[in-house]
Amino acid sequence: MVKRLVNLASRLFFLPVLAVSAVLLTGCDSESPELVPSDPVIPQPSSEVKRAVFVYLLSDNSLGKGGYDRDNLSDMIEAAKAGRLGGNRLLVYHDDFDAESPALKEVTPLGLRILKSYDNSVSSVSSERMEQAIADFKSYAPAERYGLVVWSHATGWLQTGVAEPQGGATPMWVGEDKGKYMNVTTLARVLDGKGFDYVYFDCCHMASVEALYELRGVARKFVGSCAELPAAGMPYYDTLPSLMAYDADLEGAAEATFAMYDAMEGVNRTSTMSVIDASGLDRLAEATKAIYSLRPQLPTGYTGQPYERPKYGGVPCYMFDFDHYVTALYSSSPASSEMRKAYAEWLLALDGCVTYQASTPWIFNTIRIDYHCGLSTYILRDESDADINGYRQLAWYTDVASALFDVADEQ
């Protein structure tokens, strides 16, 4: 384990990938994981197992160029060799930087077995391709329970992804394929009814209350980070026993990821991890709306606890600690029994929603983490802030944040 930590530390690379470091990526010595020879006929589904886990691995981007997908796949194979899949099945949709086309692969003790190849007629971040890949995964690996790992770049609720016919472009994305992205609203629609009981986001900024509120109906639990993740991602050899178990231990998987990075030194000691119980998100939304409806004002000069590093061009931070923000609203408001009751309910709702959270003292030695509740949020200082990056289109804004600016009808 110590050797694995040293190797990971030696190849850590930060997200987003900086152009000045692109030269370093070309020197990556990662080798492609061994492929098991394909059968002469299409492989047939096997008998049902207790759990099957699907990794939607989009690495036709800077992460694939750096070989981080190959490192993670090799880690998965080592776990399979050691029997850490527990007799269950692990399949990967892999859109590789170096491959001609994406493929559905199974992780086995002998290597990666190609089950199906796909053409490049549609993007891997389109609903059409993800729908097909999930259907193929469930056909080849029938199971009593299913888990999903989303592997790629992500920015929580920000940016605009591929426009879909059902509703058009929205300002959130997860996953990158050749510079194209999937909207979180699209992801929610694709995953709805697919039977995944958890989603582990092995990508940045997905412990956003806005993003997870969009996804609250697609799984029982989510694992994600408020801040950037190191490009090396989670340690699959350590986390797969928890993720592959019939009763998946999401807190154990998050703790294994956090512990690996927390044991490092210097700039490599960087991590925030959270586990969110989706069943608590509606209560948290209601409790937040109750506070916002009282029209609290932020203290003068309030800056918040940021989770994003400064960007070129002076782009502002869009993600702050949720608890730090709401507590600031409460503390600066005139004392009233109504506000005290609303805040007490909010704290209970937050505690029931976040089942695990941990953070290192710093993110990349740049952002000091003094407060970390396990969820981030965007700070609205006035109503016009909702126009930034389409925030007004979010369900969280419609159901919750708009209450900050609602004016009761005057008689």
What integer pLDDT is reported at residue 126 of this predicted model? 78
β pairing state of 49-58 and 143-151: parallel
Quote the CA–CA distance of 345 and 364 in Å, as a whole number: 34
What integer pLDDT is reported at residue 19 of this predicted model? 28
Q: How many CB atoms lie within 10 A of CB 87?
A: 9
What integer pLDDT is reported at residue 99 of this predicted model? 60
- What confidence tens digit (pLDDT) does each residue in 219-234 have? 999 999 999 988 889 9
- What confidence tens digit (pLDDT) does each residue in 7-26 have? 444 334 333 332 222 222 22
What integer pLDDT is reported at residue 159 of this predicted model? 44
Quote the CA–CA distance of 72 and 74 in Å, as a whole number: 5
- What confidence tens digit (pLDDT) does each residue in 272-308 have? 999 999 999 999 999 999 999 999 999 999 999 999 8
**Whether residue 93 has pLDDT greater than 90:** yes
Strand partners, 182: 174
Quote the CA–CA distance of 123 and 360 in Å, as a whole number: 36
Q: Pick the residue with more confidence: 226 or 5?
A: 226
**Whether residue 327 has pLDDT greater than 70:** yes
Position 335 confidence tier, pLDDT thresholds 50, 70, 90: confident
Supply the Cα-derived Rg of the chain in whole angstroms: 21
What integer pLDDT is reported at residue 1 of this predicted model? 43
Residue 288: half-sphere exposure toward Cβ, Cα within 13 Å: 24
What integer pLDDT is reported at residue 161 of this predicted model? 43
Percent over 70 (pLDDT), the chain: 75
What integer pLDDT is reported at residue 264 of this predicted model? 97
Percent over 90 (pLDDT), the chain: 60
Average pLDDT in the 172-176 region? Answer: 39
What integer pLDDT is reported at residue 28 of this predicted model? 34
What integer pLDDT is reported at residue 45 of this predicted model? 60
| Domains of the chain (ranges, CATH numbers) | 2-37+45-278 (3.40.50.11970), 283-354+377-404 (no CATH)
**Whether residue 85 has pLDDT greater than 70:** yes
**Whether residue 340 has pLDDT greater than 90:** yes
What are the b/e assignments for 322-331, b being 16+ CB within 10 Å? bbbbbbbbbe
Q: How many CB atoms lie within 10 A of CB 10?
A: 9
Judge contact between 353 and 280, C-beta under 8 A.
yes
Give the H/E segment covering residue 50.
strand 49-58
Residues in the chain: 411
What integer pLDDT is reported at residue 341 of this predicted model? 97
What integer pLDDT is reported at residue 311 of this predicted model? 64
Burial of 213 (0-12, 13-18, 19+ CB in 10 A): buried
Average pLDDT in the 176-183 region? Answer: 51
Q: Pick the residue with more confidence: 382 or 27?
A: 382
**Whether residue 81 has pLDDT greater than 90:** yes
**Whether residue 314 has pLDDT greater than 90:** no
**Whether residue 315 has pLDDT greater than 60:** no
What are the b/e assignments for 242-268, b being 16+ CB within 10 Å? bbbbeebbbbbbbbbbbebbbebeeeb
Strand partners, 223: 200, 275
Helices (H), 123-275: 127-140, 184-191, 209-215, 236-244, 250-262
Position 122 confidence tier, pLDDT thresholds 50, 70, 90: confident
Position 129 confidence tier, pLDDT thresholds 50, 70, 90: confident
What integer pLDDT is reported at residue 37 of this predicted model? 59
**Whether residue 394 has pLDDT greater than 90:** no
Report in angstroms the alpha-carbon separations of 408 from 48, 293, 294, 349, 388: 56, 10, 11, 26, 25
